[in-house]
């Protein structure tokens, strides 16, 4: 299948590579030259622009940071027309970025008016899952559009859930990430408390992993350096899932909570903690660096 892949960052890069390795004809594009160069070195074709990437593509996948990037790309900005004007009728668009459900719905409506299928398909599983092709996809959109997308999603992920209509994938994703943000702070606090009492963070992590406090951070993504060799904590908190991206997701969760009059006190507190962590200069580091907020010294 001829696929345009736009957004080749920490997640999009390995996802595009998995489609390439599966034998699809991928035309990739990113505004960042280093991101393009990394994929070009793996043999993936790089397009000169997003518009060039979508020429002749049967499916388009986007993996961009936030709502405004997705809206500007597809619908245009500053008087310039968006990518939708260049997409052929019948094309399938899969947006895997984590963005506001309302933005997914706005873009989907414009796409539908042009005879283009659109699904929101945000992911969970981190960069490790993106590299291994074991991501979880949370899909919002028509069942028929999901079935068109399924063979591609299966090359990048291990679990595919149909959450509901367009935007439902995004709602599921922000519920998940609100929980992830909270549990990373809680895990960090527990490790820091143990260390303040002289416990070895590796030993304590293993005890909690096998006990009732066990969670995803303790399984695969320990915030303390050296516990998990491949976790960002062991690589100077480089790569992974940026603090500012977590802050964005917790903001989306709070906006949603306000709109639906939901009570999310820990989600609100977690957002404040990541905001302070970002302001202290850690916005570009992996979100597990939030342990620095609670660790002595």
- Closest by alpha carbon to 121, among 180, 184, 64? 64
Which of the following is catalytic: 21, 89, 173, 292?
A: 173
- How near is the Cβ of 70 to ligand NAD at its closest, in Å? 9
Task: Give residue for tokens 């961009």.
Answer: 64
Q: Distance between CA atoms of 284 and 1, rounded to whole angstroms?
A: 35
The one among 3, 4, 5, 9 contacting ligand NAD by CB under 6 A: 9
Q: 123-152 mask for ligand NAD (x: CB under 6 A)?
A: xx-xx-------------------------
| Residues composing the chain | 297
- Cβ proximity to ligand NAD: between 221 and 224 the closer is 221
Which of the ranges 4-12, 105-113, 268-276, 277-285 carries the binding residues for ligand NAD, by CB under 6 A?
4-12
Q: Taking CB positions, which residue lies at the least distance from ligand NAD?
A: 9
Taking CB under 6 A as the criterion, which residues in 93-122 touch ligand NAD? Answer: 97-98
Return the residue of 1, 40, 51, 65 that touches ligand NAD, per CB under 6 A.
Answer: 65
Query: Which residues have a Cβ under 8 Å from the Cβ of 16 and sit 6 or more positions away?
Result: 5, 8, 26, 28, 39, 44, 61
Is 8 one of the binding residues for ligand NAD (CB under 6 A)?
yes
Residue 162: helix, strand or coil by DSSP? strand
- Interaction of residue 232 with ligand NAD, rule CB under 6 A: no
Using CA atoms of 150, 4, 17, 117 in order, give the dihedral in degrees to the nearest 10.
Answer: -20
Q: How many residues bind ligand NAD (CB under 6 A)?
A: 27
Name the nearest CA neighbour of 178 among 98, 281, 75: 98
**Residue 231 interacts with ligand NAD (CB under 6 A): yes or no:** no
Least distance to ligand NAD, CB of residue 14, Å: 9
- Which residues does 67 contact at the CB level (< 8 Å), separation at least 6? 99, 100, 103
Phi-psi region of 25 (alpha: psi -120 to 50; beta: other; left: phi over 0): beta
- Find out whether 121 and 148 touch, Cβ atoms under 8 Å: no
Smallest separation, CB 271 to ligand NAD (Å)? 14
DSSP for 58-86, written as a single string: SEEEE--SSHHHHHHHHHEETTEE-GGGG
Least distance from C-beta 240 to ligand NAD, angstroms? Answer: 6
Residue carrying structure tokens 């499916």: 59
Site for ligand NAD in 194-213 (CB under 6 A): none
- 91 vs 127, beta carbon nearer ligand NAD: 127
Residues 6+ away with beta carbon under 8 Å from 273: 185, 290, 293
Contact range with ligand NAD by CB under 6 A, out of 28-36, 158-166, 210-218, 264-272: 28-36
Nearest to 108 by CA among 99, 178, 152: 99
For residues 126 and 167, which CB has a smaller minimum distance to ligand NAD in the complex?
Answer: 126
Residue 220 annotated among the catalytic residues of the structure: no
121, two tokens? 């398909």
Residues within the interface to ligand NAD (CB under 6 A): 6-12, 29-32, 35, 50, 63-65, 69, 73, 97-98, 123-124, 126-127, 240-241, 245
Q: Which residues are catalytic?
A: 173
């Amino acid at each position: 299948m001829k696929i345009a892949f736009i957004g080749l960052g920490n997640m999009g890069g390995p996802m595009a590579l998995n489609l390439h390795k599966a034998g699809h004809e991928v035309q990739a594009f990113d505004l960042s030259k280093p991101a393009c160069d990394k994929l070009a070195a793996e043999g993936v074709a790089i397009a000169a622009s997003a518009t060039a990437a979508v020429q002749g593509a049967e499916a388009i996948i986007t993996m961009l940071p936030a709502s405004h990037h997705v809206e500007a790309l597809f619908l245009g900005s500053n008087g310039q027309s968006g990518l939708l004007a260049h997409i052929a009728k019948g094309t399938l668009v899969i947006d895997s970025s984590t963005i506001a459900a309302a933005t997914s719905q706005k873009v989907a409506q414009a796409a539908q008016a042009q005879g283009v299928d659109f699904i929101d398909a945000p992911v969970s599983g981190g960069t490790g899952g993106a590299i291994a092709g074991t991501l979880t996809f949370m899909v919002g959109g028509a069942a028929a559009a999901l079935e068109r997308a399924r063979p591609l999603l299966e090359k990048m992920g291990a679990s595919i859930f149909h959450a509901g209509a367009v935007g439902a994938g995004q709602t599921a994703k922000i519920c998940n990430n609100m929980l992830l943000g909270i549990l990373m702070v809680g895990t960090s606090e527990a490790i820091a408390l143990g260390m303040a009492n002289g416990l070895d963070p590796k030993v304590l992590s293993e005890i909690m992993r096998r006990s009732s406090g066990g969670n995803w951070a303790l399984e695969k993504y320990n915030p303390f350096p050296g516990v998990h060799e491949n976790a960002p904590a062991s690589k100077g908190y480089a790569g992974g899932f940026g603090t500012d991206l977590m802050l964005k997701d917790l903001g989306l969760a709070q906006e949603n909570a306000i709109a639906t009059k939901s009570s999310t006190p820990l989600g609100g507190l977690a957002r404040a903690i990541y905001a302070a962590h970002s302001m202290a200069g850690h916005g570009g580091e992996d979100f597990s660096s939030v342990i620095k907020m609670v660790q002595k010294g």
